[in-house]
Amino acid sequence: MSLAEHRSAGPQLTTGAPVGLVLVRWLEQQRDALVEADRQTRDGDKHGVHDLRVSLRKLRSALATFRPFVDRSVTEPLRDELRWAGGELGGARDHEVVDERLHALLLAERERLLVGPVRPEGPDVSAVSVLDETAEEDRPSEAAVVADTLDSERYARLLVALDVLVAQPPLTPRAEEPARKQATKRVHRDLARLLARAEHTTAEMDEPARVESLHEVRKAAKRLRYAAEAARPVTGKRVRRVGKTAKQLQKVLGEHHDTWMTREVLASNAARSDERGDSSFTIGRLHGLEQARAEHLERRAQVVLTTLTNLADRDG
């Protein structure tokens, strides 16, 4: 049965289906999820932007994982637009992540350890602004950035392009190949890609380089996770386990990166605090706590990477 015949036969995927159908079904799901997240975001749902960014990443990742089965002259420009939209929506979010982390750290501290102007007065007060009242001045509001992006002509063209992608997928002849075999191979390829990136992360790197290298490993873990999720309907338990383990690694390294962003803000605020003549004791203490957390997370990441290495060795 051809891909077109499979597609018209109904939603159920089988291991004997063409691999192109696996990709098309996944793209349809993520396009629909993106449209729903777009609606939620415009309605003011606080989770909408996060869900929107996830759908953008999943679409972009799938077009990379399944490259042999699509016309890259069509999909690579689209991947660039997906990257742009995700970047626009994600920039303001970084500040929110740091603020939430700092707020939790400050509220967890004992009263006698809060030295200087470091007490947020409530959950709606920015912890960053408490530490440094000038930090908010140059930061565009997240709501404004999101609104400008979603109302832009470029974003509107992206939505149209996604509709065309799903309605008329630019598949190559290889998209007719068996789904189970080819989808499994693409997951294993992304696993090998992740492990290769991890090998380039060494203890000898200075911290900024190491953080950036681990961030690249995290991005590779996301791609592997999404590949396994897309392939799940036509693959076995091993691929599902790879996906779950990649998700664990993504989570651990995501928090690791958050500690780095938080420490950068704390270091900057400590310098400003010293210039004002304020005590930077609490800021330094929070920095130390985040440093210890980062070291713990690196150890956890290594354990998860060992599991992924073992899974790759079994399949090799």
CATH number of the domain encompassing residue 93:
1.40.20.10
Which of 138, 132, 135, 134 lies closest to 118, judged by CA?
132
Across 189-219, b (16+ Cβ under 10 Å) vs e yields ebbebbbebbeebeeeeeeeebbebbbebbb
Quick one: tokens of 293?
A: 């957390």
pLDDT digits (tens, 9 = 90+) for 244-260: 999 999 999 999 999 99
pLDDT tens readout for residues 179-190? 999 999 999 999
Query: Would you say residue 11 has pLDDT above 70?
Result: no
* 131/280 Cα distance (integer angstroms): 10
63-119, pLDDT tens digit by residue?
Answer: 999 999 999 999 999 999 999 999 999 876 677 788 888 888 888 888 888 776 665
Quick check: 271 and 282 in contact, CB under 8 A? no
Nearest to 53 by CA among 175, 222, 235, 193: 222
* Lowest-confidence segment of 13-27, 51-65, 131-145, 247-261 by average pLDDT: 131-145
Share of the chain above pLDDT 90, in %: 64
Domain range enclosing 272: 3-315
DSSP assignment, residue 233? G
Which of 193, 246, 202 shows the shortest CA–CA distance to 221? Answer: 246
- Closest by Cα among 175, 153, 148, 145 to 81: 153
Alpha helices in the chain (DSSP H): 3-9, 19-42, 48-65, 72-108, 127-131, 142-150, 153-167, 179-199, 207-231, 237-276, 281-315
For residue 287, give the amino acid letter: H
Q: What is the pLDDT of residue 97?
A: 81
Q: How confident is the model at residue 20 (pLDDT cuts 50, 70, 90)?
A: very high
pLDDT tens for 274-309 read: 777 878 888 889 999 999 999 999 999 999 999 999
Strand partners, 178: 18
What local confidence, expressed as pLDDT, does residue 120 receive? 56
What is the amino acid identity at position 108? A
Burial of 167 (0-12, 13-18, 19+ CB in 10 A): exposed
- Per the CB < 8 A criterion, the answer to whether 159 and 129 are in contact is no
Angstrom distance (rounded) from CA 246 to CA 226: 9
In order of 134, 226, 229, 304, the CA distances from 221 in angstroms are 36, 9, 12, 11
Higher pLDDT, 310 or 110: 310
- Apex 61 CA angle, 168 and 32, nearest 5: 50
pLDDT computed for residue 144 by the predictor: 85
Q: Is the pLDDT of residue 6 over 60?
A: no
The number of domains in the chain is 1
C-beta separation of 18 from 2 below 8 A: yes
